[in-house]
Chains A and B, each alone.
Chain A
Amino acid sequence: MEKNFDFKTVGKRMPYVMPEGFLTDMENRVMESLEAKTASRGKCRIYNLFRSMVAAAAVATLFIVCHSALQPRNMNVYSDLDQAFDNLSYDDQQLMIDAYDNDVFLSDTYNSNL
């Protein structure tokens, strides 16, 4: 004769066992995990901010370098010559003036007598 199974004979019994103190540990673990995740998210934000600042500084530097490179060069040769003449000693300057005065092509004295 087939026996009918009655759920009431077993009820809500299960063969599974929960370790002692598990639920208290679970709560602590969850809170620790949430705190750790919040802290790491904070560090991540600071890191991202730092990366943004470095990127902005790199872009600004690149802009300055390119801007300087693209500026037209100063073609005022005479100012360079004046600076070079000023850098000469007094004796050297006099020597150059005397040479200029005696030059048949450059001197105004010779040219005015032609």
Chain B
Amino acid sequence: MNIDNNEITRTITQDKEKGFRLLMAKFSEPLYWHIRRLVVSHDDAQDVEQETFIKAYRSIDRLDNKDALTAWIYRIATRQALTLLEQNKKTTLMSEALGEQDAMADMTADSYVDFSDLEAVRLQKAILSLPRKQQLAFNLRYYDEMDYDQIAQVAETTATTARVNYHLAKEKIKRYMQQEL
């Protein structure tokens, strides 16, 4: 849903619940996909997204920079997703070899995956084999079309690091996909 961030922050100031509903209307879907790309499992993504919005509702009054609403909500979602992955003791993002096996295991176990699109499956395998920071930078740039400053705010790093991570990720994915061809 195409709602202006300024309208959301203005509405929150006047009517918190109404503004929060606008926030959910705008970000539910993109956040879901962002989380899903990290955690793979639909059930995990559902839990993480729900927790994300609950945390957002509690802390929205403390949002300092109203202009950074997108980066703020994505940052909460990313933290929640990574916390879940840590809790599940997944090694997906930590090593290339093991990560791919775990990612495929998660994908195979999940009933909300369409394996008929082989190229899409291969691309996700490639992304999931990357180190965490590269995966994040790539997803946020490629799928969410964020600029490097926004990626830096979400990933809690610098714009330069975000740029480097994105390009490294892109090269690794290309090599991976070319091997599979």
Give the interface of A toward B (CB within 8 A): 2-5, 7, 9-10, 12-19, 22-23, 26-27, 29-31, 33-34, 37
Given contacts A3-B178, A22-B32, contact A13 B54 (CB under 8 A): no
For chain B, the bracket of interface size reads 35 or more
Chain B residues, Cβ within 8 Å of A10: 119-120, 123
Q: How far is the CA of A14 from the CA of B143 in the complex (A)?
A: 10
Distance in angstroms from B62 CB to nearest chain A CB is 17
Tell me which of A5, A16, A30, A33 contacts B42 (CB under 8 A): A16
Chain A residues, Cβ within 8 Å of B115: 15
Identify which of B45-53, B82-90, B91-99, B154-162 touches chain A: B45-53
Q: How far is the CA of A49 from the CA of B132 in the complex (A)?
A: 47
Is there an interface contact between A33 and B114, defined as CB atoms closer than 8 Å? Answer: no
Tell me which of A4, A5, A17, A22 contacts B113 (CB under 8 A): A17
**Beta-carbon nearest neighbor of A2 in chain B:** B178
Tell me which of B112, B143, B178 contacts A4 (CB under 8 A): B178
Tell me which of B33, B37, B50, B142 contacts A30 (CB under 8 A): B50
Is there an interface contact between B142 and A23, defined as CB atoms closer than 8 Å? Answer: no
Chain A residues, Cβ within 8 Å of B21: 27, 31
B interface: dominant SS: helix
Is there an interface contact between A23 and B120, defined as CB atoms closer than 8 Å? Answer: no
Is there an interface contact between A5 and B114, defined as CB atoms closer than 8 Å? Answer: no
Given contacts A5-B177, A5-B178, A23-B29, contact A15 B124 (CB under 8 A): yes
Give the interface of B toward A (CB within 8 A): 21, 24-25, 28-29, 32-33, 36-37, 40, 42, 46, 49-50, 53-54, 57, 107, 112-115, 117, 119-121, 123-124, 142-143, 170, 173-174, 177-178, 181
Is there an interface contact between A27 and B28, defined as CB atoms closer than 8 Å? Answer: yes
**Beta-carbon nearest neighbor of B176 in chain A:** A5
Chain B residues, Cβ within 8 Å of A2: 178
Chain A residues, Cβ within 8 Å of B114: 15-17
Is there an interface contact between B113 and A15, defined as CB atoms closer than 8 Å? Answer: yes
Is there an interface contact between A14 and B37, defined as CB atoms closer than 8 Å? Answer: yes
Q: How far is the CA of A4 from the CA of B54 in the complex (A)?
A: 44
**Beta-carbon nearest neighbor of A3 in chain B:** B181
Is there an interface contact between A34 and B32, defined as CB atoms closer than 8 Å? Answer: no
Chain B residues, Cβ within 8 Å of A33: 50, 54
Given contacts A4-B178, A37-B54, contact A13 B49 (CB under 8 A): no
Is there an interface contact between B121 and A15, defined as CB atoms closer than 8 Å? Answer: yes
Distance in angstroms from B114 CB to nearest chain A CB is 5
Is there an interface contact between B57 and A19, defined as CB atoms closer than 8 Å? Answer: no
Distance in angstroms from A28 CB to nearest chain B CB is 10
Distance in angstroms from B85 CB to nearest chain A CB is 16
**Beta-carbon nearest neighbor of B40 in chain A:** A16
